[in-house]
Amino acid sequence: MRSALRCMLRGPALGAWLLVATVHPATVLAQEEEEEVEDAAEEVEAEPAVAEPVAQAPKVPPTWWLGAYLQGAFVPSFMLKLFLDDAPTVSNLGFGVTATHRNKDGMSFVIGLGYAPYSFAGPFRISGDPETDTEWLDSSLALLHLRGQMLWSTDIVDNMLSFEYGVGLDIGVVLGEMKRTEAHRDASGSFQPCAGPAVPNPIYCDVPQSLGRPTDAYDAYGAHYNVVEERVPPVMLIPMLPALALRYTPIPELAIKLDAAFGLMQFAIGLSAAYGVHL
């Protein structure tokens, strides 16, 4: 028995027995866990990185708008006849350019430069004067003006359709001239300018009181033929009370407006377009 045990301790079985005895179960488990961690790390490194979506900041609407407009001005005859016995209807198309600053709360300040013609031709008679004192006015007047407006807005459709309301003022220099000529009634009963003194109807076409002259002066009583009226004011101021607009914004950088205003016995309606810029 002792000889057999001694042989086992001395033989190759001793090395195997010592190896098994020295490998503790806890050591084996730790090595397995370490290998699993290394494998997982390799898998993570092998997978491509997925970029997380970056939230975009909301687009800030433009604060400055540069644009142009067309505007028709109408001075109806019935309004002039509140003070006159006879007067023509005045209607013309003007144009201009504008720069608008719009606050975050929707309030707008508009400045602009425009041209508004006031050309017309027709009969004119002061209230209370006899029909034979009717004159024919021929106007090429126009207004080169600065425009200022202050507008508030209310959204009808968010960020697309808005109603604007406020006040405005046009002030500028008067261009052109206005001529006066005696007028007569033709066969149809309409007023027409006289061709000259006593022509074609001496009842309407008076003879000038200034002897030897084709016409009396613009500021003198008598008969007037193609006389330039010198009392037209050199500067004109036209308030817009109120100023209204319907603004359509199909894209954030484009605003299209339908404008309307009333001022100084005239109505105005127009169409404008403006492009938004960040300044």
> What is the DSSP annotation of 46-105?
HSPPPPPPPPPPPPPPPSEEEEEEEEEEEE-HHHHTTTEEE---EEEEEEEEEEEEE-TT
Per-residue pLDDT tens over the stretch 249-270: 999 999 999 999 998 789 999 9
> Is a pLDDT exceeding 50 seen at residue 8?
no
Unique residue bearing structure tokens 């602009």? 112
For residue 93, being part of any structural domain is answered with yes
Identify the residue with better confidence: 16 or 65.
Answer: 65
Give the alpha-carbon dihedral of 87, 89, 93, 96, to 10 degrees.
50
Which token pair is 274? Answer: 């403006």
Sign of the C-alpha dihedral computed for residues 207, 208, 209 and 213 taken in this order: negative
pLDDT at 50: 53
Report yes or no: 261 and 243 within 8 Å, Cβ to Cβ: yes
> Is a pLDDT exceeding 60 seen at residue 10?
no
Unique residue bearing structure tokens 């200022």? 148
**Mean pLDDT score, 39-51:** 53
155 and 37 share one domain: no
Per-residue pLDDT tens over the stretch 181-210: 999 999 999 999 999 999 999 999 999 998
pLDDT at 257: 97
97 and 42 share one domain: no
95 and 155 share one domain: yes
Confidence of residue 21 (pLDDT cuts 50, 70, 90): very low
> Is a pLDDT exceeding 70 seen at residue 18?
no
Per-residue pLDDT tens over the stretch 49-97: 555 555 555 566 788 999 999 999 999 888 888 888 888 889 999 999 9
Q: What is the pTM of this model?
A: 0.75
Number of domains in the chain: 2
pLDDT at 203: 95
pLDDT at 123: 95
pLDDT at 35: 59
116 and 82 share one domain: yes
> Is a pLDDT exceeding 90 seen at residue 138?
yes
136 and 257 share one domain: yes
35 and 134 share one domain: no
Tell me the residue range of the domain where 34 lies: 2-46
Report yes or no: 147 and 228 within 8 Å, Cβ to Cβ: no
156 and 266 share one domain: yes
151 and 255 share one domain: yes
**Mean pLDDT score, 235-261:** 95
pLDDT at 56: 59
pLDDT at 106: 84
Q: Over the chain, what is the mean pLDDT?
A: 85
Identify the residue with better confidence: 160 or 28.
Answer: 160
39 and 96 share one domain: no
For residue 75, being part of any structural domain is answered with yes
Cα 143 from Cα 200, distance rounded (Å): 35
Cα 18 from Cα 31, distance rounded (Å): 20
32 and 169 share one domain: no
We report the CATH number of the domain holding residue 125 as 2.40.160.20
Count Cα atoms within 13 angstroms, Cβ side, for 135.
22
